[in-house]
Amino acid sequence: MRKVTLLLVIAIGFGLLSGGPRPAIAAGGAEYEHQEWTFNGIFGRFDRAALRRGHQVYREVCSACHGLKRIAYRNLMDIGFSEEEAKEIAAEATVTDGPNDEGEMFDRSGKLSDRFVSPFPNDQAARYSNNGALPPDLSLIVKARKGGADYLYSLMTGYADEAPEGMEMMDGMSYNRAFPGHQIAMPQPLYEDLIEYEDGTPASVEQQAKDVTTFLAWAAEPELEARKSLGLKVLLFMILLTAMLYAVKRRVWSKLH
């Protein structure tokens, strides 16, 4: 019994340690800092107000260059938008549909079941408009980059007007301390008061960065909250089951002594 308890304690200890906060990480000369996110940890949930503001940042700023093709307009209802609001947002998009009875493709306004419409019809058009660089689809970007949300936040806040002395910048590139190599083809997207938040929150660069990162973290893992609450239920069930089995064991063995 003692051995089992010891093993259990070690296992739980490892579990807790691996979920704990990590120090600032540096990858490929890029720097990003650890931030507090409401969606980290075993009780993690997305901050609904931040998700709404983050959607506004994506829509008014990032969507000019980046798609979000894995998310459908109806998914906005999962994060607190009403059906009317989601319909309105969808209707603003122009979707190419078809072919119709005459074999022609046609344009119509978006519906709830449509995915977010990308700003460019293909990668070539996207590169052509961005100096040869491809703005990646942002649906999975938080999962696809080392550092995840911390990296994205640092990328958004990591621009500087001038590169440090001794660094040669290529034409059309911006200095960013979080981007590996520090030269990025994306011009600084966020500025103080660039947008006016619907809920009146002051729009500092940090605030916009935090909100859009929260929104994109949700886009990359919309099932996060369900996953975490299921995990908690399973843990609770295991604890109860262990207690019950222990009680049964004691009962059975008490008769055999």
For ligand HEC, the binding residue among 50, 57, 71, 86 (CB under 6 A) is 57
Nearer CB in complex with ligand HEC: 60/83: 60
Closest CA to 57 of 143, 153, 175: 153
Q: Are 176 and 184 in contact (CB under 8 A)?
A: yes
Please report whether residue 136 would count as binding ligand HEC according to CB under 6 A. yes
Backbone angles phi, psi at 28, to 5 degrees: 55, 40
Number of H helices, E strands in the chain: 8, 7
- Ranked by CB distance to ligand HEC, the top (closest) residue is 62
C-beta atoms surrounding 221 within 10 Å: 16
User: Of 20 and 28, which has the nearer Cβ to ligand HEC?
Assistant: 28
- Closer residue to ligand HEC (CB): 69 or 111: 69
Stretch that binds ligand HEC, among 45-53, 60-68, 94-102, 236-244 (CB under 6 A): 60-68
| Interface with ligand HEC in residues 186-245 (CB under 6 A) | 186-187, 189-190, 212
Question: Per CB under 6 A, does 158 bind ligand HEC?
Answer: no
Q: How is 66-110 classified by DSSP, letter by letter? A: ---TT-BGGGGGGGT--HHHHHHHHHTSEEEE---TTS--EEEE-
C-alpha distance across the termini of the chain, in Å = 17
- Binding segment (CB under 6 A) for ligand HEC, from list 16-24, 183-191, 226-234, 247-255: 183-191
149 makes contact with ligand HEC (CB under 6 A): no
Calpha distance 249→255 (Å, rounded):
10
Q: Closer CB to ligand HEC, residue 75 or residue 154?
A: 154
Contacts with ligand HEC, residue ranges (CB under 6 A): 57, 61-62, 64-66, 130, 133, 135-136, 138, 141, 145, 152, 155, 184-187, 189-190, 212
